[in-house]
Structure 1
Amino acid sequence: MAETWLIVGLGNPGPRYEATRHNVGQMVVDELAARRSEPFRQHRANARVAETWLRPGAAKLILAKPNSFMNVSGGPVAGLARFYSTDAAHVVIVHDELDIPFDSLRLKSGGGHGGHNGVRDVAKALATPEFLRVRVGIGRPPGRQDPADWVLDPFSAGERQTLPILISDAADAVERIVEDGLVAAQQRFHAPKGE
């Protein structure tokens, strides 16, 4: 029987936030669903879910976007993990990361939350930090802008030109993790651009 993977894009609900840096995780999950022409439906775990497959005969993918705000993402993630009987080793959280430059990805399993409140809440709700993460770099704000404001701003005009490639790369990274494992995905996506 094919493994089931829960792929969750973190973000905030509603049109006010959908184009902001904090919602890049949801943009990546949208890309994964669009590749498979799979619509999202409301789920009782307070999330929108698209059930699909990596490819025919391969792993089952549960693509999810919590309806909750970022800082309380854990409840929907834990609810979905229980509903689909998915353990933390098969949960991939896709989220924005201030400490990684824009247009870069970092993939990891476990570890601390690095001050990311959404990741912190997921670790608390799952009762373990041992889930996979696709960290999408958004960079730090210029000058003295508060990082809390920066993450809630839309991407700049310059960033929006590159953003589709970054989202596509992050979606590719999720697929590679599911297909070939974390180490193979890290070897592919941690290489400097152009290699």
Structure 2
Amino acid sequence: MSDSGIQLIVGLGNPGAQYAGTRHNAGYFLVDRVAERSGAELRPEAKFYGLMGRVNHPEGDLRLLKPTTFMNHSGRSVAAVCRYFDIEPSRVLIAYDELDLPVGTVKLKQGGGHAGHNGMRDSIAALGSADFWRLRIGIGHPGSKEQVIGYVLSHPSRADTEAIEDAINDAESCVPEMLAGEYQRVMNRLHSRP
């Protein structure tokens, strides 16, 4: 693994059957896909407030995390893992749902604000840094601010589900490059998706 590659992938979401498959859990979808493809098992870890897994890649070990603190307190889980394993924020990738991107779009970037996303707001505060990588998974916008909460906590249509799954599959296929610190290559690939 390069000395700038990703060591931890965090997927933001809400735990519980009532939230499974909702738009707000797009980050969970990515971690589930990485675990599934790599054969990693996600297990409850009380000290990390979430489900943790480990992937042995040729490029190096990768840890996977799904906080189970509920979205608004995701940072507690992210910070606990980073402290315990001594992982710098710049080597963390947080995947989450993005209202401001069209459904099925996926964008990689480093740093920035929280753009009103409570999981990101809490993660930035808990880490004391915004210098981590973000994988923004487009879920589209319902059209008005008043509809946002109901929209993100509802299930996407079949067509939207397929578009989001395609985006997640493409992002998952870029994990080796992210482990190697080849972020520009990943951005070129993901940002040029049709």
TM-score over 0.5 (shorter chain): yes
Instruction: Name the aligned partner's letter for residue 18 of structure 2.
Output: R
**Range that drifts further, 130-139 or 176-185:** 176-185
Looking at structure 1, the residues matched to 144 and 171 of structure 2 have their Cα atoms a distance apart, in angstroms, of 28
Correspondence list, 1:50-129, <5 A: 50-53=53-56, 55-56=57-58, 58-129=59-130
SS in structure 1 opposite 2:177?
helix
SS in structure 1 opposite 2:124?
helix
**Offset of residue 160 of structure 1:** 2.4
Looking at structure 1, the residues matched to 85 and 27 of structure 2 have their Cα atoms a distance apart, in angstroms, of 21
- Report which structure shows greater RCO (CA 8 Å, sep ≥6): 2
Question: Deviating runs (4+, > 6 A) in structure 1?
Answer: none
Instruction: Name the aligned partner's letter for residue 51 of structure 2.
Output: R
- Identity, % of aligned pairs? 37
Please list the CA deviations of residues 164-192 of structure 1 after superposition, one character each: whole Å capped at 9, or x if unmatched: 31221122244432224222211111114
Instruction: Name the aligned partner's letter for residue 71 of structure 2.
Output: M
Correspondence list, 1:175-186, <5 A: 175-186=176-187
Structure 2: which 5+ residue stretches go unaligned? none
Normalising by structure 1, we get a TM-score of 0.91
Looking at structure 2, the residues matched to 127 and 168 of structure 1 have their Cα atoms a distance apart, in angstroms, of 31
| RMSD, aligned α-carbons | 1.8
**Aligned length, in residue pairs:** 191
Structure 1: which 5+ residue stretches go unaligned? none
Contact 2:104 2:165 in 1 (8 A): no
Normalising by structure 2, we get a TM-score of 0.92
The equivalent of 2:29 in structure 1 is 27
Higher helix share: 2
